[in-house]
Amino acid sequence: MQINGIDHLEFYVTDLDRSVEIFRDGYGFQPLAASTPLEDSLTGHRSVLLRHGAARVVVTAATRPDSEVAAFVAEHGDCVRNIALRVDDVPAACARATAGGAVLVAAPLTRDGVTTATVAGAETLRHTFLSGTGADTSPLPGFSPLRNVPPAAGLIEEIDHVAICLPGSTLTRTEDFYRRTLGLRRTFVETIEVGDQTMESLVLQGGAGDSVTFTLVAPDCEEGQLVDFLRACGGGGVQHVAFRSDDIVGAVRATGAHGVDFLSTPATYYDQLPTRLGCSSEDAAVLAGLGILGDRDHWGDLLQIFTRSPFPNRAVFFELIERRDARTFGTANIRALYEAAERLRTSGLVPAGTGSE
């Protein structure tokens, strides 16, 4: 059994139309398909599938107060519910996951040419295994294509990684769970200290070409942005989603012009950027003007920027990232993000957690 990548992320949301607008108008996603009226009546919720490059997201909202979606949103707010994975053999993936300790939610089923099965993941998450679909225009079971779909803006290539915030002291347990159920392995570990706050993080990767990356983070303190996130989400879950771009400067300019709100970085951060990246002062000035962070690892350079959460509970947020051969996440950037988010939190502008890698 092989995982071939993240097929899509499914968000359970309060307001379907507003959530579609966030992805369509802010980030340039194409709405590709929507659940059929028959499907909506059976499930008590409505969903829309959107795509930008190889990144696909589904937004789902309740149509009945007695639906599973309504109950989840009432408890957790707008959150990622499902990290769906493309696999070559759904029954084998399901068997491995359940043998590793995952709870079966939906047994393998083939419908509309797509085979699926779903298991419970860490904390509030689920994972659906799919075969017979891809990161293109392929609809999902129970969906019908939308007409007159405008082209995507071409700013996003794929989902780079998903950051999952967990309660303190649960990183090792969650790592072991994903090693047993999905075959992921640890590739990076770090502890960040900012004032009296401590954040533990580790990166898990796996699948074909390491196409699946989960960044696990957890607080080792009593208060702070990660603790705020756990409160806002009502438990652990996806803290942020990173979209990879080949032109982060163009992506930030375009998304910013469409209302995406980014975290700010102090001007002093950029004083040493030309030395750290080996770039010109003119290029550093462009990055500084847009608030883009820059760092370097053993393999190359990394540029990234983080947004404020656009959702009502102010929990999940997004990242734009450009990898110039870099494979990791930039230690200086992690600290800069944490400090920027903490400034927002203590200012009272962001009532819930807007955390870090």
Residues sharing a CB contact under 8 Å with residue 296, sequence separation 6 or more, in sequence order:
276, 277, 278, 302, 326, 330
How far from 36 is each of 20, 159, 301, CA to CA, in Å? 17, 27, 44
Written as six digits, the tokens of 353 are 């957690």
Is the Cα dihedral 168, 169, 174, 179 positive or negative? positive
| The residue type at 271 | D
Extract the runs of DSSP E, i.e. beta strands, from the chain.
3-13, 30-35, 45-52, 55-62, 79-87, 104-111, 114-120, 126-131, 143-145, 158-165, 185-194, 197-206, 212-219, 237-244, 293-296, 301-306, 317-324
Q: Which is nearest to 180 in space by CA: 99, 118, 93, 108? A: 99
Q: Is 319 annotated as a binding residue?
A: yes
What CA–CA distance (Å, rounded) separates 349 from 255?
21
Q: Environment class of residue 275 by beta-carbon count within 10 Å: exposed (0-12), middle (13-18) or buried (19+)?
A: exposed
Written as six digits, the tokens of 220 are 């080792």
Q: Is 161 annotated as a binding residue?
A: yes
How far from 166 is each of 32, 171, 226, CA to CA, in Å? 32, 7, 8
Q: Quick one: the chain helix, strand, coil %, rounded to 5?
A: 30, 35, 35
Q: Which helix H or strand E contains 99, and what residues bound it?
A: helix 90-99
Written as six digits, the tokens of 23 are 């992805």
List, as residue ranges, the binding site for Fe cation: 161, 240, 319
List, as residue ranges, the binding site: 161, 240, 319
